[in-house]
Amino acid sequence: MNAAHPIDVPSFGASLFNLNALNDISPRVLWFTSNFQLQVTTFGTMCCLCFVLSRLYSSRKVFPGPPGLPLIGHIFEVPTIKTWLYFERLAAKYGPLVRLSLAGDEMLILSNASDAEELLGRRSHNYSSRKPLIYAGKYQSKNKRMVLLPYGETLKKYRAAFHQMLQPRVVGGYEPMQELESSKFLMDLLDQPSTIGRHCRRFAASLVFTLSYGKRLEDDDSDLTAVLDILANFTKDTYPGSHLVDTFPLLDYLPDFLSPWRAEASRKHKDEMKLYNRLALEVKAQMDDGNSELECFAARLWDQQQKMNLDLVDISYVAGTAFEAGTDTTASTVQWFTMAMVLYPEAQKRAQEELDNVLGSDGKTMPGYEHLSQLPYCVALTKEVFRWAPAAPGGFPHYSDTDDEYNGHHIKRGTMVIPCIWNMHHNETEFKNSYDFMPERFETTAAGSESITEGHYGFGFGRRKCPGQYLASKSIWIGLTRVLWGFNIRPELSEDGKPISVGPDNCTSGMTSRPIDFPVSITPRSVVHAETIRRTWEGYGA
């Protein structure tokens, strides 16, 4: 019987490596066999290559850090609340550069400013990007929020628009607006001193809202409520560990019915665009009606729309996110100032003595920007607030675009490099007694408004440094200095007459941090000071 040769497993396996035996095998089997042989060879080669690469990589020196679990690394160790304090403990144990891993995502925590200046500053070409966030970036922001953008042409375009409005020579033109809003801030404290947290947030929001859209915000303004809600969501949603999909990106491939977070993020995006589109279009309508005196960020963006190739979504998000960034950090810093004055009354006393020496102690002259160069201690105090309680203590992660070597250690491509501002500001080598509030540490460098941004690291590093640092620092200086001139800030007393204890540990946690509202006594320094505050505000036509 002429039948095809049976192919049992042993003979088939042997034939893979015996070419003479192939003469008796059908062409189809021959095709399969030769391809299988190629696959085996390729697979073996790849295994050898992977082994060599793994040995090569494992031989590279990496920065120290705590032992992690296989595959997931330190995902159960990194807290989602007050992460900067965890980073502080790591630095104390492992040194100023600490490596962590979150389910394959490499992290490098920087605790010394010199390391941040080298990597994020001098090597900024490699460390200016951001880790792609799926929840807050892809769905909540549709990849339009400047703070989350990777380094590239879109970011450069947005930053160029910011630079036009926020460079130092332009910022001086905003002083009348800053003095107006600080006068309203004093008036709010005079009328309702018990709700200082709310007044801090309105002061900060109205400053940046006026700059962005050309109109002020009052305490009961619905736009203020809407933006504060957006800010609260965004701060929470960008915090490490907030959303599982950012740690395990494969979850983004699940269908919608298994991913309720996707609909939630998209709903937040719709809410943001509803507000920011309306505000941008209101500015456009005023311009179309011939309001040539309208001077704000959104108006400049509309003017530059064709030149910069901007669409409505670009203009809405650039103006809107400028408002977000300035509001959150400014409000947090002013609230930290209030707590510092409760805890360190001697600093408050020294600042008031300087103000009285320059302006007179009769309370008839309110400080303004023309007095800045004469008030070095008030400048030093402002800088110390930035240092003592940074608004973004954990820092915002940068992202490495290529492999790098630093101090003999390997930094992988795609590593999140996090400048921990809290650790830098509490580095005892640079700042002695760093947990104490000591404005005198900056007195020798407190000369002029430019110096407010120097000597601390609260505005970040390199190409991702805060573009609004000059505006923010001057806004905070005028607000703080005028409060010190007009009011005494003391601990609130309990029913038995004892000071109610407050402390910096009672604060919010997220990308930014502020004190949770606390009891505090704020009273005018004199009747004349109160009259000057009221008269100045009424002079604005209020």
24's CB contacts (< 8 A; 6+ apart) are 5
Number of H helices, E strands in the chain: 19, 8
- Give the whole-angstrom CA distance, residue 324 versus residue 234: 9
Assigned token pair, 215: 């109109």
- Give the whole-angstrom CA distance, residue 79 versus residue 291: 51
- Give the whole-angstrom CA distance, residue 221 versus residue 241: 33
Burial of 244 (0-12, 13-18, 19+ CB in 10 A): middle
Query: Whose structure tokens read 């962005």?
Result: 212
Separation in Å, CA 324 to CA 29, 209, 283, 427, 523: 67, 9, 18, 30, 31
The amino acid occupying position 177 is M
- Look at residues 501, 125, 174 and name the one whose alpha carbon lies nearest to residue 339: 501
The amino acid occupying position 419 is P
472 SS3 class = helix
CA 302 from centroid of its chain's CA atoms: 27
Contact by Cβ (8 Å): 3, 26 = no
Burial of 411 (0-12, 13-18, 19+ CB in 10 A): buried
511 SS3 class = coil
- Give the whole-angstrom CA distance, residue 482 versus residue 187: 11
- Tell me the Cα Rg of the chain: 29
- Give the whole-angstrom CA distance, residue 540 versus residue 254: 57
The amino acid occupying position 530 is A
95's CB contacts (< 8 A; 6+ apart) are 64, 111
- Give the whole-angstrom CA distance, residue 334 versus residue 187: 16
Angle between helices 196-213 and 260-288 (to 10 degrees): 60
- Using CA atoms in the order 453, 459, 464, 470, what is the torsion angle rounded to 10 degrees? -40
Say whether 507 counts as a known binding-site residue.
no
Contact by Cβ (8 Å): 90, 388 = no
- Centre a 10 Å sphere on the Cβ of residue 357 and count the other Cβ atoms it contains: 12
Residues comprising the binding site? 466
Residues comprising the binding site for heme? 466
